[in-house]
Structure 1
Amino acid sequence: MKTLVIGASKGLGKALIEGLGEPGDTLIGVSRSQPAHLDHKAGVSVHWVEANLADPAVAAQTIAAAVAEGGLDTLIYNLGIWEEFAFDPAYNFLTDDDSQIEAIVTCNITSTLLLIKRLLPVLLNSANPRIILTGSTSGLPQSGRPEVTFGASKFALRGIADALREGYRQQRLGVTCLNLGYLNTEDPLSTPRELAAQRGEGHAIPVHDVVQVVRMALSLSSASFVKDITLPAILDERF
């Protein structure tokens, strides 16, 4: 299996590179620069593409060219930015800078669309093509969150997923949207899961759990797919 992970240099993306794959598989990480240190499973080949999704058209072309010859089975789009004061009591939509709003839309929506458009011809050559979009519980109805631009961008991901399923069902394209709650990205995959689960005292999800969910979704046959998964922290009162 050949899997492309966007936003792979840190946090959840880095955990996906380190935790996915089986011997003989290929993982391709994408970020503005390659991290200095990266662990991965034995027998898994890891490659890197340097691209900045803040410039969607150029990045999409660069990434598509990098995978055109070797093919691709799975795209994991794990990239998103949010407002300066998001998830903070100080957040106020009226004080958000216009340029910041444009940057969030560009990174979270425009780059997603342009990259998927460039990669679909390659993905659809796979016997089991998959796209996994890292969404958020902020993109669910009545999410309880006030961040307008970030929430709108995560709602958009769910719309993208729905439309792609309709447009490419006959080509057996499986599109999954992960609606994730608050993540503990301070503890990497190398931290024991039991220890990482203690951070936040029930209010944060260790990246280990998300990696496990993604592994499950990618282990399915071409006869089925996971449509949506909502993964909140156990003490998230919104759920």
Structure 2
Amino acid sequence: MKPTQKTFLIYGVSKGLGKAIFNQLPDAEDRIFGVSRTKPDFLNLENNNHIWIPADLSDAKNAKEGIQDAIGAETIDYLIYNVGIWEKTAFTDDYDFEQLAVHEIEEIIHTNITSLLLSVQSFLPNLRKSANAKIIFIGSTLGLPNHNKQAVVFSAAKFALRGVVHSLRTHLRKDNIGITALNLGDLATDVEHETLIPLADVISALRFVIHTSNATCVKEIDMPSMKDIDL
């Protein structure tokens, strides 16, 4: 490994923001482990530093074990958990929390929170090997007070994500590992739109976090779009 080479572990890389993070945040020489259920269509199989790890995060225990087996004892400099599934009827007029099936609630919680907790727990030894490790959770403005959308289970998971950050901050202080929640509003993942956050702005925020020294902990960044009325 080159002295300047960093290792990323990025979740949710098959499309949208995760795809943008995979392709735009690391430097050319960096090593990237990308986790997703489906294989990314952009993956360059000739690049030995780009490794795809298949995982179904709703099956939290098996997913954790599979990712752990793939990475082994390698140093991880940056762990970015970009995962967020919501109710099938969320953000529609048909949404009714009382009618949600138990299995749908469990899938959302296991994917958004249980897998997050198991992943961080598993890879702390790898992160401690880095001189300036960062853990970044992609949160949501639905995890902030006084938003005006329903999506009860998704919102609960994103509030929980912020709780993990605040609690782990204390646990990781002795290791000089930074932990951050980046709470995003509506993103322009497929097409740019004046009311949506450009992906380039999110990449800029992530770049700021990973370039801070280990003397600093950026705990939370709240990033609604300018036209967002949630906050």
Indicate yes or no: 2:189 matched with 1:182.
no
1:41-82 superposed Cα distances (whole Å, 9 cap, x missing partner): xx9932211111111111111112222233211110001110
Q: In the alignment, which of 195, 200, 224 is matched to residue 208 of structure 1?
A: 200
Q: What TM-score results when the alignment is normalised by the length of structure 2? A: 0.92
Q: In the alignment, which of 85, 88, 94 is matched to residue 90 of structure 1?
A: 94
Tell me what 1:236 maps to.
Answer: 228
The 2-side partners of 1:125 and 1:35 are apart by 28
Q: Provide closer, same or farther for how the CA distance between residues 62 and 17 of structure 1 changes in structure 2, counting only shifts above 3 A.
A: same
Tell me what 2:110 maps to.
Answer: 106
Partners of 2:74 and 2:126 within 8 A in 1:
no
Indicate yes or no: 2:171 matched with 1:167.
yes
The 1-side partners of 2:65 and 2:203 are apart by 28
Indicate yes or no: 2:83 matched with 1:79.
yes
The 2-side partners of 1:236 and 1:36 are apart by 32
Tell me what 1:192 maps to.
Answer: none
The 2-side partners of 1:9 and 1:107 are apart by 15
List runs of 5+ in structure 2 lacking aligned partners.
1-5
Write out aligned runs for 1:48-87 (5 A). Answer: 48-87=52-91
Q: In the alignment, which of 113, 127, 147 is matched to residue 131 of structure 2?
A: 127
Q: What TM-score results when the alignment is normalised by the length of structure 1? A: 0.89
Q: In the alignment, which of 140, 148, 172 is matched to residue 144 of structure 1?
A: 148
Tell me what 2:16 maps to.
Answer: 11
Q: Percent identity?
A: 42
1:106-151 superposed Cα distances (whole Å, 9 cap, x missing partner): 1111111111111111111211111100110000011222221110
List runs of 5+ in structure 1 lacking aligned partners.
188-195
- Coordinate RMSD, CA, aligned: 1.6
Partners of 1:27 and 1:47 within 8 A in 2:
yes
Q: In the alignment, which of 47, 51, 64 is matched to residue 47 of structure 1?
A: 51
Give the superposition deviation at 1:13.
0.3
Give the superposition deviation at 1:173.
1.4
Q: Name the SS for the 2:61 alignment partner.
A: helix
The 2-side partners of 1:74 and 1:37 are apart by 21
Q: Name the SS for the 1:168 alignment partner.
A: helix
